[in-house]
Amino acid sequence: MMARALSADPPTLDRVSSPAYARPVPPRARRAAARGGSPFDPQETPLARTRRARRMARELALIHPDAHCELDFTNAFELLVATVLSAQTTDKTVNRVTPALFGKYPDARALAGADRAELEEILKPTGFFRAKANSVLGLARALLERFDGEVPGRMEDLVTLPGVGRKTANVVLGNAFDVPGLTVDTHFGRLVRRFGWTAEEDPVKVEAEVAELIPKRDWTMFSHRVIFHGRRVCHAKKAACGACGLARWCPSYGIGPTDPEVATKLVKTPAASDTE
């Protein structure tokens, strides 16, 4: 214990997250969450929060061993376009249109020269299809004009592309380039706030705070696991707290049914998950 405390090395998930070092959630945070307040406890020390976060991250890895990117893709271009199309719709819907889309427009050059009416017809099931046709046409043209038709592998380049923010860039970097990235989507933000890891609402600030808690090498898979948990267990409206493996460390335990039988019925299987 003392050696850990005195060590100059930054703590890593492997070294600090054993159950013996992860205290259950502070009761005051759970009381605050039960009253509808923020479950973030400013009195929890950074070290205690880090240990608790890493313990929860390890538990998430056990709960969701199959976590992965739920958008279908075979290369960085397909993933980038699919991620842009996934705004305001489900991954399943995007996966239904992308075989036809990439069959017809397999790269940036082909997509940049697409006939708008034909493109809109393919994108129709994803909703907002006119705006999305505009987005992917603009994206393909920018790739062609500025990156020779290739998807760049750096955050600073990706975010200069039209319609590409940090969330989309992190999806592409993490899953197509093996560059660790935290994907702060609606599920991710909701869950890490419920976990009491941050009180921030701004995705960029959420990303920065979670980056302090979770080792960089784990960011991509950790993001998938959190998003899986949000889609299957910790739902926006009815969290399945009574069937949640994170309950011991989560200050928001109790915001959803705690009766195991009731909660288990709320857990969605991968097939039934909305993959939004």
69 is in an annotated binding site: no
Name which of 194 and 231 has its Cβ closer to ligand SF4.
194
- Work out whether 60 is an interface residue with ligand SF4 (CB under 6 A): no
**Which pairs with CB-CB distance under 8 Å and at least 24 residues apart come from 93-101?**
93/125, 93/126, 93/127, 94/126, 95/70, 95/71, 96/125, 97/122, 97/123, 97/125, 97/126, 98/71, 98/72, 98/73, 99/72
Smallest gap from Cβ 256 to ligand SF4, in A, equals 5
Q: Which of 259, 174, 74 is nearest to 188 (CA)?
A: 174
Which parts of 179-218 interact with ligand SF4 (CB under 6 A)? 194
**Should residue 253 be labelled a site residue for ligand SF4 when binding is judged by CB under 6 A?**
yes
Q: Binding of ligand SF4 at residue 57 (CB under 6 A)?
A: no
234 binds ligand SF4 (CB under 6 A): yes
Q: Is 247 in the site for ligand SF4 (CB under 6 A)?
A: yes
Q: Residues with catalytic annotation?
A: 167, 185
CB of residue 202 vs ligand SF4: minimum separation in angstroms?
Answer: 21
Applying CB under 6 A, does 241 fall inside the site for ligand SF4? yes
- Taking the C-alpha atoms of residue 17 and residue 26, their distance in angstroms, rounded to an integer, is 17
Which residues make Cβ contacts (< 8 Å) with residue 268, sequence separation at least 6?
231, 232, 233, 235, 274
Which residues make Cβ contacts (< 8 Å) with residue 18, sequence separation at least 6?
55
Residue 59 vs 207, nearer CB to ligand SF4: 59
Contact residues toward ligand SF4 (CB under 6 A) are 194, 233-234, 239-241, 244, 246-247, 250, 252-253, 255-256
